[in-house]
Amino acid sequence: MKRRSEPGLREQQLLREKILGFGEGSLRKSHYPELRVRLLELERFRFILDQIDLGIMIIGMNDDTILDCNEETCRLFGKSRRDLVGTTIESHLHDAGWYSRMKEAGGGVEILASPHFSTVSPRYLEVALHQVSFGGDAYLITIVRDITDEKAASDTIVRTRDMFAAAFRLSHMPDASEGRILTEALQKTVLLTQSRYGILGVVSHDERFFTTYRSDAGSSSQSGISPIGKNGPWERIMVGNGASIADEGIRMDLPITDGGSVVAIISLFEKAVPYDDLDLKQAMYLGEILWQVILRRRAEDRLRRLNAELEDRVSRRTAELAIANSELEAFTYSVSHDLRTPLRSIDGFSLALLEDFGESLPAEASEYLRRIRAASQRMGDLIEDLLLLSRISRKEIRRETFSLSDLAAEIIADISSSHPRANVSVHISEGMFVSADRRMIRIALENLLGNAWKFTVGKERTEISFDMRDDGITPVYSISDNGAGFDMVYAKKLFLPFSRLHSNEEFPGTGVGLATVSRIIRKHGGAIRAEAAVGAGATFYFTLGTKNEIGEEENHVSG
């Protein structure tokens, strides 16, 4: 009691001296204006304090009585200054723990959430306590700062960051199934909005039922399928009620729309505090991201299915082709064997007739038998050439590097020994190296050079030349002769099997040779064409693929 009254008394005395010193005591009017100035200063200071948005209180160190406070303090407590001044601070606090803690520590700063203060709306407060002493007495000054708005702003930043993290995670689940993505999205939304649980319903294509998923913050699962009825909360959303917070803030419903119609609904329940606009916006945003991810996943799935189907079709088609190919092989084998056998009999017995009965046969009969033999032999040649053509079509090319010049020289040597002729001039360019199938190219050159030889028969002088022109990318080879040539009108027919531009009497042949050459050239990725004029010889130009292509194929074959 003494401790409490002593400072009170002194205080009064001091105050009295102050007033007496300038007023009554002195009775000197000269002090009066001075007094007014001081009073004005005091009021001005009070005004400043009241304008500050910090709650400031002076509390007696010994009895915890609020000695004075400013307007902001009144606002924070929701009370008038009269209600506060002279009462103890504890009587206004729900929880005075912070006060005793800081008092004991001789000061400090703490952030308190209401209801530490009995304020009206939930606030966040930063409370600082300082010990001061003046006039020989100790006081506590509390400074309270309302940081609710600041905290809301920083919370928004944190939650927005969390939302983007969730959205990013959602859009980076490359191997997850649609169900995984949906449950993950629901769980993220539940966590982000601090809900107790959430339910997600995906509308089926025929809009007859929802596929539902449930998440309780910790775990998520597909919970089933529910038919779309008439009057449930989701059905009301289906017909366009939009996103809403319902049931006094403990439920939030969010439709996800695609092209104007609702494709899914997320419902969230029981946040510790009512849902706010930020919750709604963020959940909506996640919902939109989710749907984009789902659409992308569906498109990818479709593409994967299509690819699988395509692969399946290709392998089926390949198998069919393999069967067709083997049938064709069996067929050509059969042709090769069975078609030739009777021809041999025809030829053989015709010869036998000529040999055994030739003398008793009339000359005409012998002539007919010779024609029979010639025809059967010609048919044998036709079969032979056809077989070669089909064999080349089936065969894979095997590239090796060799000299085209040497090969051509060998072929010319063969031809000139089997069909010798005088006055021949053959020019073959040196050093023409190629990467090609040697056996096939031999067949092609035998045909081209053989043709040049054949169609120059009867010329005074046979001139054949084999050259190359290289532009650095695709070497072009040419084989030219000074023979019979042909009319360019028929050039297109040249490379078709059985098309002949000359009669068999004039120049014998089956008409399959150039078709075979063309097929060989094409198999090598090259092209062939001819230039000619009747009586002025012919030139065949061909390529065997570009240098690049050849390089690649070579690697491919060896690898």
Summarize as ranges the residues that interact with other proteins (CB under 8 A). Answer: 333, 336-338, 340-345, 347-352, 355, 373, 376-377, 379-380, 387
Q: How far is the CB of 513 from other proteins (least distance, A)?
A: 18
To other proteins, the closest distance from the beta carbon of 446 in angstroms equals 16
* Minimum distance, C-beta of residue 175 to other proteins, in the bound complex (Å): 48
Handedness of CA 485, 489, 495, 497 (dihedral sign): negative
Q: Which residue lies nearer to other proteins by CB, 191 or 353?
A: 353
Residue closer to other proteins, measured from CB, 85 or 361: 361
DSSP codes of every residue in 227-250 = E--SSSHHHHIIIII-SEEETTTT
**CA nearest to 377, candidates 350, 415, 416:** 350
Q: Which residue lies nearer to other proteins by CB, 343 or 476?
A: 343
Q: Smallest gap, in angstroms, from Cβ of residue 390 to other proteins?
A: 11
Place of tokens 């703490």: 110
- 271 vs 523 by CB, closer to other proteins: 523
Query: How are strands ordered across the β-sheet holding 197-203?
Result: 219-227, 209-216, 197-203, 261-269, 251-258, 244-246
Q: Which is nearer to other proteins, 256 or 441 (CB)?
A: 441
Q: Say how far apart CA 550 and CA 535 lie, in whole Å.
A: 37
Between 31 and 438, whose beta carbon lies closer to other proteins?
438
Which residue type does 548 have?
A: N
Q: Give CA–CA dist 63/431, Å, rounded.
A: 117
The pair of three-digit structure tokens given for residue 465, joined into one six-digit string:
């030349």
Write out the two tokens for 322.
């393999």
Q: Which is nearer to other proteins, 183 or 376 (CB)?
A: 376
Q: Respond yes or no on whether the N-terminal peptide bond of residue 7 is cis (omega within 30° of 0).
A: no
Confirm if 516 and 506 have CB atoms less than 8 A apart: no
Of 416, 351, 412, 344, nearest in space to 384 by CA: 344
In angstroms, give the least distance from the CB of 399 to other proteins: 19
Q: What is the CA radius of gyration of the chain?
A: 54
Instruction: Kindly state the smallest distance separating residue 397's Cβ from other proteins, in Å.
Output: 15
Residue 413 tokens read as: 């040597």
8 A C-beta contact, residue 528 and residue 400: no
